[in-house]
Every structure is written in C-alpha cells, then in structure tokens.
Chain A
Amino acid sequence: MIVENLVFYTFSAILLVSSIMVISARNPVHAVLALVATFFLGAGLFVLLGAEFLAMTLVIVYVGAVAVLFLFVVMMLDISFAELRQGFLRYLPVGGLVGLVLVVELVLVELHWTVTPKVLDKPAAPIPPSDQVSNSHALGHILYTQYFYLFQASGLILLIAMIGAIVLSLRSRAHVRRQSVAAQVGRQTADAVAVRQVSTGGGV
C-alpha cells in the first residue's frame, strides 16, 4: 500500500508539473513534448487503478497517433507563441469558465459519492470483479451488448469526420506526375519500342 501511494504521488506530481509546462513552455515543441509526458503519466495512473486496457489505449491513440500529428504540425509550421499570447487576457474569462465548469462537475460527482455512498451500489452497468474477468473482456461485454447502438453511432460519427477530412483536403492538381504501377507492368515491348529503317541523313 505504501509503495502504491508513493508511486501514485510521484506520477501525479510529475503529471501536474508537465501539464503546467504544456501551457507555460515558451517553445511550442517543448509544450507538445510535455503534453506527451502528461498522457503517458495519465496512462500510468490508469494502470495503478487496474484499468490496463484504458491505459494502453491512451498510449496507443493519444501518444502514438494524436500527439505525433501535433508534433508534426508544430515543427512544420512556424508558430510564433508571442503572437498567440497576445489574446491571453481576452480569452482568459472563457477559458476560466470552461475550467470552472469541469472542476464543479468533478466536485459534484465526488460529493455525490461521499454524501450518498449507496449510489455506488447501483451503477448503470454492474462492474464484474476484476479477479474473475479481465477489464478488456468486461469493457467489450458492455460495449457490444448494453451500449451497442451508441458504440455504432460513435463509429459512424468518426467515419463522417474521416470522410469530411478527406473531402476538405483532397484537391486535384494539374501537372502532377503520378506513377501508375498497372500501366508500367502492363507495358509491352511492342507499345514502347518501334523499329524503323532510317535512311542515312534522312532522320526519323
């Protein structure tokens, strides 16, 4: 128990520090790297909670794909952070409000659990004991039975987002030389080479 607490506080402390670095770092690339560290430590906290499936998914999706694209964009584009900072005071109230709403929600949930602990006995989906069912099986069971339609709907939304991204970024440009492998492979000697008798000095 002592070891677990020690690990938890170490992870949370570094997580808080790196998440502050995300918004305070001067160099945008450092900010993204701090974001990666934040995701990774978040995954560590999930592992401590016994939610290893969520932890691995967090690392695969956010660290392995999303943050790589962030890093890509930040490195490629010449973003001047000084310029971005100019609107700081103007957007502070809106950002602060969103942050406040999130904090209030968290506090409400926590209060709810502390004030009426009985609500924990009546969850929407019963949590199977973790020593009998691994949490990937448990999650799959709930997703594919109870929440099947919602799961499908979220898949469809993602599909629409993907098609939208393709439509927005697809443009056909003239003068682009593309390789057609089928045409190259299907090419015969007869199509490509013509044998001519050329008279001396006559040219082709």
Chain B
Amino acid sequence: MASFWTFVWPLIVIVAAIVAIIIPVLIGVAYLTYAERKVMSAMQRRQGPALVGPLGLLQPVADGLKLFGKEMVIPSGANPGVFLFAPFLTFVLSLVAWAVMPFGAHLVLSNINVGILYLYAISSLGVYGTIMAGWASNSRYAFLGGLRSAAQMVSYEVSMGLIMVTVLLCTGSFNLSEIVLAQQTVWFAVPLFPMFVIFFISILAETNRAPFDLPEGEAELVGGFFTEYSCMNFALFMLGEYSNMILMSAIAVVLFLGGWLPPLNFGPFAPIVNLVPGPIWFALKIAFVLFFFIWMRAAFPRYRYDQLMRLGWKIFLPFTLLWVIVTASALEIFGWLPAVVP
C-alpha cells in the first residue's frame, strides 16, 4: 500500500494545485470581459453592463449561460475533426502555460530550468488554433482571418524573442523565479524601458487585440477566423483569447515589473508594502497591464495590414536586435554580467 500512496499522493497534490491555479484564472477571464466593457464604457461616457446583478456584476455569468444554450453549428463543408479541435487547442494552450508561472517566492507549480523558453514555445503554438479554425471552417472570411493571424503572430514573435534575450542577458537564467529575483534592486522596466514598451505592443499583436485585431477585423472579415463558430466552440475561443491576455500580461510582469516583488520596497515604505503578500502584488500588476490592454482598444483605431507588417519587421525587429547588442555591450563593458554557473 505504501508504494501505491507514494504514487497517488503527489498526483492528488498536483491535481489540487492545478485546480487552484485554473479556477482563479477562469474567474479572472470572466471578470476581464466585464472589466473591459465597464472600463471602455467609462472612457466613452456610457453606462456599460448594468442590469444583471448589482452594477451588472453577474453579466459574465449570464453571457456564459446564454452561450451554453445556443445551438452548435458545424458548416456542411467544414472538416469536423479539425473544426472542433481548433477552439479546444486554443483554450488548452492558454491554460497550460500557467504551469511555470511563479505566483510568489517558491509558489510555483513546476519550477523548471527553461521556464521562459516553455512560455515562448507555448505562445508560439497558439497560432495553430487560429490557422486550423480558419482552414477547417471552409469559408473565405475565416480562411483570410486565419492566414492574417498566422502571418501576424509569426512576425511579432521574432521581436518578442529578442526582447526576452535582452532580459535573459541581464539575469543569466531561463528560470522564471530567478528572473524575478534578479529584479530585487530595480525592475527591468526601468533600465530596459524601450524593450518594455515594444514588448507590450508585441503582446497586443500576439493576442490579436486592438489595434492589431486584424484576424477578426469585423469591418472586412465579418468575424475573421471564428466567423463560423457558435455556442461553446465560440466560447472556448473567447475564453482562450482573454486567458491569453492575462497570460501575456503575467509574462510582461515577470519579465519587466518584478513579478511578485512589492513596489517601493525601500526605506519607510518597505514595512507597509511587505504587509501585502506577493501573489496579491502579482495579481495587481497583471490588472495594471490589462488596464492598458483595454485602454489601447478604446483609444486607437485598427492598423492597416501592411502597416502592421511594416511595424513588426522594419521597426521592431531591427530596433530590438540593436538593443540586444547595446545591452550585451553595456553589460560586458561595465562588468554587470550576472554570475553564471560554470
């Protein structure tokens, strides 16, 4: 029996930890849609959702229940297997990445050595959900949306990778917890501020958010790659998109805003800010980045496709490449290179 429990007990612990991560993420997703509508309505001097529950707080629940009740439609010319697999893939990929996210000191499900590469790999897989959905729908609009999305996500991933390289140069480790701990003196958003700005714009493009929401540009493509989706398949895409937004904000927080570390951690402020536990700071910082996501959507018009490609390849890519060289040279010249295990 003892050997049986040595296998089963860790399994129970891991499953419990996974549930403890996924439930808050899903609640966050639900209320992110609510927050988006409320913030945008405030910016546009409207009321936003206000009828379901107090202040409209039950609106996400009502939306979810409504989507459950809809009819699932599979277009006759569609490729059913791929058609049904695409939203599932998008949703799963947006959740598995949370496995390596450090929520606090030692508070991480899987503290792997190559955490940042894992996140990069998972986010580069995200394009398959979109391109498969676009192809399997057997519709012109969906196909064009899928192709646009594939080109867009591949383009912006390159500069995102180079930005991660600059951060890695400053930390000397792929491990996310070590990246956060390397920011104890100063958050990387300060010395690498241009990289932070470009990273933020790149994650807007990577999650297909406005002003880069061309894959679903309703003006020319109806609904883009999910034109043909209905019911829970559509809901899975929406959940995946918003969960990806939270995930990308979390990556930005870990790389540039000091993860779970409290702000103003010096002098008289230190005892006060340390009263609040790390995971709360982490969540607050994610919410701060997410507010910018919503603000961008309310403030900027959609990019034209050639402008999007020009920005990605002709401006971000050379600039980040140059900045990698500048950072590496500065670290080498001033002797700031992190100590590396032999």
Contact = CB atoms under 8 A, between A and B. Distances in A.
Binding partners A and B: yes
Given A52-B113, A179-B306, A64 B121 contact: yes
A30 B113 CA distance: 34
Contacts of B143: 75
A52 B150 contact: no
Interface in B153-170: 154, 157, 161
B7 A3 contact: yes
B127 A136 contact: no
Contacts of A135: 113
Contacts, number: 77
A52 B100 CA distance: 14
Nearest to A135: B113
Given A65-B154, A68-B150, A71-B131, A136 B113 contact: yes
Given A75-B135, A179-B307, A133 B121 contact: no
Interface residues of B, number: 31
A141 B172 CA distance: 13
A136 B124 CA distance: 20
A134 B341 contact: yes
Nearest to B81: A30
A147 interface: no
B17 interface: no
B12 interface: no
B118 interface: yes
B250 interface: no
Contacts of A3: 7
A52 B112 contact: yes
A25 to B, nearest CB: 12
Contacts of B131: 68, 71-72, 75
Contacts of A33: 82, 132
Interface string B100-132: 000000000000111001101100110110011
B77 interface: no
B124 A59 contact: yes
A59 B144 CA distance: 26
B174 A136 contact: yes
B87 to A, nearest CB: 15
A60 interface: yes
A181 B150 CA distance: 25
B271 interface: no
A125 to B, nearest CB: 14
B340 interface: yes
Contacts of A36: 128
B267 interface: no
A69 B127 CA distance: 11
Interface string A1-45: 001000000000000000000000001011001001000000000
A57 interface: yes
B117 A137 contact: no
A75 B132 CA distance: 10
5 contacts: A53-B114, A56-B120, A75-B147, A133-B342, A134-B341
Given A53-B117, A69-B154, A141-B342, 12 more contacts: A29-B79, A29-B82, A30-B82, A56-B120, A56-B121, A59-B121, A60-B121, A63-B124, A68-B127, A72-B150, A137-B341, A179-B307
Interface of A: 3, 27, 29-30, 33, 36, 52-53, 56-57, 59-60, 63-65, 68-69, 71-72, 75-76, 132-137, 141, 179, 181
The 5 A-B pairs of least Cβ separation, nearest first, read A64-B124, A56-B117, A59-B121, A134-B113, A52-B114
Interface of B: 7, 79, 82, 112-114, 117-118, 120-121, 124-125, 127-128, 131-132, 135, 143, 147, 150-151, 154, 157, 161, 174, 306-307, 310, 340-342
